Amino acid sequence: MPTHSHNTSELPLVRLGQGDYVRDIWPADLEHQHQHQNGEPMNASTLMTQIRKGRSPKPRRVMLYGTHGIGKSTFGAMAEQPVFIPTEDGLGDIDCESFPLATSLGQVMATLESLYTNDHGYKTVVIDSLDWLERLIWAEVCSDKGVDSIEDIGYAKGYTYAIDKWRAVLGALDALRSDRGIGVILIAHAKIDKFENPETEPYDRYSPRLHKLASALVQEWCDEVLFATYRVHTRKVEEGFNKAKHQGIGTGERVIRTTERPAHVAKSRLPLPEEMPLDYRVFAACVRGDAAPTTNSSTTGEPVADAETPSPEEGA
């Protein structure tokens, strides 16, 4: 923390904190801090001239999670000039460009550094998948601490140590996005968690298959958290004697949910449709604000029949 001598008659610009944890911010403190992106010094006299107005779009930071085999990697392969960083062996049937399979966190970081420092035409980096990347992070934490399992680190501190590794990965991705204009797609599998909602009874919902600390960090970092699932409808079937049951009906249509609901975690920083086809082209059109292509067919090209009643997952 810089220290400066000040005239006792002067007043600081602002006083931060309270009690024994107080810091005064003086004009000289700002003059010794960072420079603005355009090279202008960031000090008290220039800050007002550097206020931005309006939107300043940047490449998106997207997490897409869902059940296995639904088409998450295909979604990433449809992005603009993508390159994959695979942490699991599952790209063999997808036409895409990828680095060799990463078997350590060091290899992942070296790959990100290579994308940052070398000339190339890639516009999107796809990490496939986050839950296998988490295993590499845990392995490095275990190596650092000299233990066989992250559970061997007492008081669950191993997962806290892992957060520092996650921040390093996200920091490298931020550098690619800010300095190289590269978008980010993070692929993850889904799990069903018990959600302790303070306003209701606990209930099950889908969430990314990550430790809760890592999941919260990555979700906060991302611009969009998208849940990929199959559209499911229910139909009431009469059984006689004034009894009925609800039967699930699947059409095979694959969709993305962009808004959090009791059945799943999701978010978007843009006013995206609540649901859209699992198709990167549709997603990109919505991000740009274009009229998204309408579709009434599944990913197999077969027509989708209208159903009588939406499932509870859809908010019915």
> What sign for the dihedral angle of Cα 261, 268, 105, 102?
positive
Confidence check: pLDDT of 311 > 60: no
What does the pLDDT read at residue 130? 97
What does the pLDDT read at residue 116? 95
Distance CA 300, CA 265 (A): 26
Strands 61-66 and 224-240 come out as parallel
- In this structure, are residues 223 and 61 in contact, taking their beta carbons and an 8 Å threshold? yes
Confidence tier at 299 by pLDDT (50, 70, 90): very low
What does the pLDDT read at residue 28? 66
What does the pLDDT read at residue 314? 38
Distance CA 127, CA 133 (A): 8
Rounded to two decimals, the pTM is 0.76
Distance CA 153, CA 134 (A): 16
- In this structure, are residues 169 and 112 in contact, taking their beta carbons and an 8 Å threshold? yes
Confidence check: pLDDT of 61 > 50: yes
Distance CA 276, CA 292 (A): 9
What does the pLDDT read at residue 53? 85
Strand partners, 275: 257
Confidence tier at 5 by pLDDT (50, 70, 90): low
Task: Dump pLDDT digits (tens) for 211-270.
Answer: 999 999 999 999 999 999 998 766 666 666 666 666 666 678 999 999 999 999 999 999
Distance CA 129, CA 190 (A): 11
What does the pLDDT read at residue 48? 77
Distance CA 264, CA 278 (A): 16
From residue 264, alpha-carbon distances to 6, 26, 251 in Å are 55, 47, 20
Distance CA 277, CA 279 (A): 5
Confidence check: pLDDT of 44 > 70: no
What does the pLDDT read at residue 300? 38
What does the pLDDT read at residue 55? 79
Q: Report the pLDDT averaged over residues 8-22.
A: 65
Domain annotation for the chain: domains and CATH numbers: 1-39 (no CATH), 61-231+253-278 (3.40.50.300)
- % helix, strand, coil for the chain, step of 5: 30, 30, 40
Distance CA 49, CA 29 (A): 18
The 3-state DSSP class for residue 216 equals helix
What does the pLDDT read at residue 90? 86
The 3-state DSSP class for residue 112 equals helix
C-alpha angle with apex 3: 7 to 164, nearest 5 degrees? 150
What does the pLDDT read at residue 305? 35
Distance CA 4, CA 220 (A): 37
What does the pLDDT read at residue 7? 59
* Mean pLDDT over the full length of the chain: 83
Q: State percent of the chain over pLDDT 70.
A: 72
Closest CA to 174 of 165, 184, 164, 166: 184
Q: How many CB atoms lie within 10 A of CB 298?
A: 18
Confidence check: pLDDT of 301 > 60: no
Confidence tier at 186 by pLDDT (50, 70, 90): very high
Confidence check: pLDDT of 298 > 90: no
